[in-house]
Structure 1
C-alpha cells in the first residue's frame, strides 16, 4: 500500500529538495550528552520525524528530500575518537529511512572528519554498501577547511567517485570574536561558505579534482556577491601560488558549482546569483526543518515570481537539475 501511495504522490509533485536535515535519535542523544540545547550559537533544535517530513513534503509539492545531518558535526559532539561510531549510526539511520520510503528520501553521508582514515572507510560504507547519493562536508573542521593538505585524501577519493558533495556551513573558529552574540547562521555561515570556496579555488583543489559535483547552500552564501573579487584577484600570482588560475578560469569554476536556493529565492540573492551561475546549476532547497514553513513557502513563491524565469527553467531548478546528481534516487523514481 505504501508503494502505491508514494507513486500516486509522485504524479503530482514536482520538486526535489536537496537541502534538508534530519535529526535521528543518535544525533539528538549525542547533542544532549554534551549539554546542547541549541545549535551554532542559539538556533533552536527542531523536532523531526519521517512522518512529519512526509506531511510537509505533501503540503509543499515535494517529490523527495535529500537528508543530511546538520551542523554541528559528529566530532564536535563526541570528540574525534567518538566520531566514527556516531557517523556510522547516523548513516545507517538515513539508510533505514530510505528503505522505509524509497521514493521519498535520499541521503548524503556524514563523515567522521577530521579523522581522515575513518572518513575514507565511511565513504566506502555509505556509498558502496548503503548506496547513499553523496556526502556532506562541513566548511571547516576545527578551523581546517577543505582545500588544505590534511583533507586532500578525502577530496581525491570523492573526485575519483565523481561524488556529489553538499558543502555545508558550520560555526567558524573565530565565532567568539566575530559573532557579536548572534547565531552563526545569521552572518558567519554565508561567509564560511565563501571562505571555503575561495580556498578550494586558490589552492588549485578544484583544478585537481574536476569531477567533484559540489553544491553550495543558500544561493551560495556570500559567493555570488564576492564572485568578481574572487575571480579578479586570481590574476595576482602571489595569491594563487603553484596554479595556472586566471580570472576567466576562476569564473568558470564558480559556474561549475551547484547552488541550492534554500532561503535564497529572493530578488537580492537571485540577481547576483544569476550573474555567477547558469540556471542549469540551480537546485531547489528548503533547509527543513530549521526554516519555518511560511518562510519556505515564501521562498518557493519568490522563485516562481522572479521575472524572466520560464516554466521550463522552473522545472529544471525544482527537479530536473538535481536528478543527475542523485543517481540512486533517480533510479528509484524511474
Structure 2
C-alpha cells in the first residue's frame, strides 16, 4: 500500500523533567503510569504506522498543580522544549502549546508567546480545569483571544471533577465523558457560536458526543419556546439540520476510536472533511497504535474519506505542512 503520509494530531510529548515531576507528585495520567518518550521513540512509531508528521501536545494533567507561578514556569518549559523539537525538524513535528488554566491571565500570556515567538501550530486545552468546563464564563477572555487569532485548539480530556470508580482507569470511560461534557458546555453556553473562528479538535472521536447526538438535539430543542419545540420535533429533518450543524462545527480525531463500533457513529455525525488521524502515542503503546491503525485501514472507507482523515483534512488546519 502507498505511504499515506499521515498527519497525527494526537501525539504526546513527555519531556523527561516533566515526566519526573509527575512521578514525584504521584500522578498517573488517566490511571496509567507515565510513559517513556523521546523523539527517537516517536520517529520509530511514525515510521511503522505511515505517519509523516506528528503535532505534539502535553496530555493531562497539563501544568496546573494548584498554583499559578508553578504552572507558568512549567508551561514555558514544556512549550520551549516542544518548540525546539519542531524547530529541529518542522516537516515531521509540530506542537500545540500548553496553557495554564484555570489561570486565565497566564494562559493568554503564554498563548501569545507560544504563537508569536515559538511558532506553535495551535493550543491544547484540557476539557476541564479545576472542574470548570470550556464554556464557563471564566474562560471567555481566553476564548475571545483564541477566536481573534483563529487558533486551532486541541481539546484533550482529563480527570473528571468527581471521585473515580475503584478499579476503573480514567482513560477507559471518564476521559470520554470529560470530552463530551466540555463539548456540551461550549454548545449550550453559546461559546461555540460566539467564537466561530476557533477550530476545536475533540480527542477520541469526541467522546460520547456522536453516540448521544440526538439527545443533544433534544436538549437544544427543549430550550426553545413550547410552540417552537413541537414544530421542530415534528419536522425531524429540520431539527437535525438546525442543531446537527452545531455538532458539525467541531473537528474530531480518531485516536483509539477507529473501530467498527465507534467509527461509523462518528462519520454519521461529523463532516468527513473534519475528521483527522490520531495515534495517542505514547500513552497508547505501539501495539495499541498498530491495532487501531489496522482497524482503520480495514474499515472499508471510500478512498477520498480515508485520504482526508489520513492527511488532507489536517492540511486545512495546518497549511504549512503541505510543503512537507
Per-residue CA deviations over 1:23-55 (Å, capped at 9, x if unaligned) read 01231232133233x223x31211100111111
Would you say 1:55 and 2:47 are equivalent positions? no
Residues 14, 315 of structure 1: 8 Å contact kept: no
Residues 4, 310 of structure 2: 8 Å contact kept: no
The Cα of 1:328 is off from its aligned counterpart by: 4.0
Would you say 1:319 and 2:311 are equivalent positions? yes
The Cα of 1:247 is off from its aligned counterpart by: 5.6
Deviates more, 1:110-119 or 1:318-327: 318-327
TM-score by length of 1: 0.88
The Cα of 1:13 is off from its aligned counterpart by: 5.2
* Corresponding residue for residue 119 of structure 1: 107
* Corresponding residue for residue 16 of structure 1: 7
* Corresponding residue for residue 39 of structure 1: 29
* Corresponding residue for residue 282 of structure 1: 275
Residues 219, 264 of structure 1: 8 Å contact kept: yes
The Cα of 1:312 is off from its aligned counterpart by: 2.3
Residues 65, 106 of structure 1: 8 Å contact kept: yes
1:291-330, aligned counterparts within 5 Å? 291-307=284-300, 309-330=301-322
Would you say 1:94 and 2:82 are equivalent positions? yes
Query: What are structure 1's unaligned runs of at least 5 residues?
Result: 1-10, 240-245
Counterparts of 1:163 and 1:204, CA distance in 2: 18
Per-residue CA deviations over 1:87-137 (Å, capped at 9, x if unaligned) read 011100001111122211000000011111111110111001111110001
SS in 2 for 1:19: strand
Of 237, 252, 259, the match for 2:252: 259
Counterparts of 2:309 and 2:57, CA distance in 1: 20
* Corresponding residue for residue 243 of structure 1: none
Query: What are structure 2's unaligned runs of at least 5 residues?
Result: 226-238
Residues 284, 317 of structure 1: 8 Å contact kept: yes
Per-residue CA deviations over 1:246-299 (Å, capped at 9, x if unaligned) read 764331011121110011111110121111012111111100011122221221
Counterparts of 2:52 and 2:151, CA distance in 1: 22
Deviates more, 1:291-300 or 1:221-230: 291-300
Residues 23, 34 of structure 2: 8 Å contact kept: no
The Cα of 1:179 is off from its aligned counterpart by: 2.3
1:79-228, aligned counterparts within 5 Å? 79-174=67-162, 176=163, 178-228=164-214
SS in 2 for 1:318: helix
Counterparts of 1:328 and 1:132, CA distance in 2: 12
TM-score by length of 2: 0.91
* Corresponding residue for residue 21 of structure 2: 30
Counterparts of 1:303 and 1:201, CA distance in 2: 29
Counterparts of 2:14 and 2:290, CA distance in 1: 22
The alignment of Structure 1 onto Structure 2 pairs a total of residues equal to 310
Counterparts of 1:96 and 1:157, CA distance in 2: 25
Counterparts of 2:196 and 2:92, CA distance in 1: 30
Counterparts of 1:73 and 1:238, CA distance in 2: 38
Counterparts of 2:154 and 2:79, CA distance in 1: 15
Residues 7, 314 of structure 2: 8 Å contact kept: yes
RMSD of aligned residue pairs (Cα, Å): 1.8
Residues 26, 86 of structure 1: 8 Å contact kept: no
Residues 134, 326 of structure 1: 8 Å contact kept: no
Counterparts of 2:192 and 2:317, CA distance in 1: 17
